[in-house]
Amino acid sequence: MPVPPATNPADDVSNRVRQLEGETQSLRAEVERLREQPVRLPPVDATQAAPATPSPTMAEVDAEIKKFAWKKGDFAIVPYGCLWGNIVDSTERTYPGSYTLYALSANTGPESEFIVDARNTRVGTDVIGPRIPCLGGAQSGGKVEVDFQQSLLSTENKASVLLRHAYAEVRNDDFRLLAGQTWDVINPLNPCMLMYSIGWDAGNIGYRRAQLRGERYFAISDTSLITTQLSANQNIFCDSTTSIRPENPQWPIVEGRVAWTIGERKPECQPITVGVSGHIGEEEFDVTGGPQDEHRRTWSGNIDIRVPITERFGVQAELYVGDNLDAFFGGIGQGIDPVGRNTIRDQGGWFEFWYKWTPTLHSHFGYFIDDPNDNDMHVASARTYNQFYFGNLCYDVTKTIVVGAEVSSWRTLYLGQLPGDAVRCEFVVKYGF
C-alpha cells in the first residue's frame, strides 16, 4: 500500500510494527483456541468425546484458520457445521423414533419401523475476541450452535431450529468464566455413539441449560492438574401434565465438579481424568384443584473417569445416584410421580471402550442402565427399568467425511405392561466443514 507523501516514514514503520505485533498476538490466540477445540468433525454429540483420530498438527491448524476464519476488527469468526444423515431400521418402535430414549411397550403394538432423517444436521460459529487486560490478558470468545431437532411432533421435513449452545466466555490457563447456554458441569463425558441421543434416559445424565459458570485450574506439576467448576443454572421442569403446572423456583440449580487430570497436557497426549460432581436445586409447581406452590428437591452425586490405556485402546465411564432427575435425562424421563407427587429416586450409569483398528477405522462399544426406584411410582405404565448396549464401526473417508454403522439392543420395563425390546440398526453419514 503506497505511503502518502505527508506521512513521516519513521512513524509508518513504528505503526506497521505495532500492527504486525497485534496481528501476531491475534493469530497466536486463534491457534491456542483451535488446538483446544480442533475444527474437525466430532465423532459424536459430545464436548469430551474419545478422540478417534490424532490431534491436528500446527500446519493443519494454520490451514484451518486460513480457510475458515472471518475477520471483523479484533474478532475472528470461525463457522463450522455438520451435514448429518441417518437411516434407521428397528425391530420394534422406540421413542421418539429418529433417535431412541427408550423402547415402547409391546402393548402398544410390536411393529418394526424404518426412518430416514436429516434433522441432526447442525451449524455454528466459534468467536475469538480480544484479550481482556483487566483479567490478566485472558482470551475472550463465544459460541453459537443450532440443530433441527426442536419439536418431536413436527413433520419430518418441516423441522424447527433447536438452540444448542449460545454463550460468551473469558479464559486462560488458570481460569474460565462463562455466561450462556451450554453443557452441564456434572457428568461431562459422552460416549462415542453415532445416534443423536447419547444414552439419555438410559444412564447418561446431564444436558444443556442456561448458566453462569466459573472454573479454576491448579497446575500442580506438568503431569498433574486439578480442575474445579461451579455453576448456577436455570431450572427446567419436565413433568408438566394437565394437573401439574411448573413455576420458576426461588433459587437456581447449583452444580459443581472437581477433577484430577494425570498425564502430560499436550495435544498428542491423552491423560487420565477422574472427576466427582453433583448438583442440588429445587422445583416448584402448582396442582390443579390442590396445593399451590409445591416444592420438590432435585439432586445427584456422580463419578466420571476416562482412561486412555494405549494410543489405540481406552475406556471411560460415569456413575450416578440422585432424586428427581428427569430434567437431566435421568429416571427414564420421570422425576415426580403424578399420583403421589413424590420425587422418584434413581441410579444408573454407563461404560464404554474404544479401539482404533487403523488410522481411519475405529470402533466403540458400551453398556447403559437407568434404574429408578419402583416403590416411588404409582402410575400404571410407568417406566421402571431401561438398558441398552451398542457397538459401532466408523470409517473416516477424509478428515471431514465419516461413515459408520451402529447396532444397539434396547430393553425397557413398565409397571403393568409388557416390556419393550428393540434392536436398532443405524447407518450414518457425516460431512463436516
Three-state DSSP class for residue 267: coil
pLDDT at residue 185 in the model? 98
Three-state DSSP class for residue 243: coil
Q: Which residues contact 2 (CB under 8 A, 6 or more apart)?
A: none
Report angle CA 313, 274, 54 to the nearest 5 degrees: 35
Is residue 96 reached through a cis peptide bond, with omega within 30 degrees of 0 on the bond before it? yes
Domain borders along the chain are 37-432
What is the per-residue burial (b if ≥16 Cβ within 10 Å, else e) of 57-83? eeeebeebbeebbeeeeebbebebbbb
pTM metric for this prediction: 0.82
Q: Say which amino acid occupies 416.
A: G
pLDDT at residue 114 in the model? 96
Q: What stretches in the chain show pLDDT beneath 50?
A: 1-15, 17, 20, 24, 31-59, 61-63, 66
Report angle CA 176, 121, 431 to the nearest 5 degrees: 95
8-state DSSP, 46: -
Q: Which of 3, 349, 409, 390 is nearest to 194 (CA)?
A: 390
Query: Which grid cell sits at 47?
Result: 464436548
Strand 420-432 versus strand 401-414 pairing type: antiparallel
Question: What sign results for the dihedral spanned by CA atoms 404, 407, 413, 414?
Answer: positive
Q: Which of 220, 213, 115 is nearest to 168 (CA)?
A: 213
pLDDT at residue 40 in the model? 37
pLDDT at residue 181 in the model? 98
Do residues 304 and 277 lie in contact, with contact meaning Cβ atoms separated by under 8 Å?
yes
Which overall architecture, per CATH, does domain 37-432 show?
Answer: Beta Barrel (2.40)
pLDDT at residue 10 in the model? 40
Report angle CA 405, 99, 52 to the nearest 5 degrees: 40
pLDDT at residue 270 in the model? 83
Is residue 5 reached through a cis peptide bond, with omega within 30 degrees of 0 on the bond before it? no
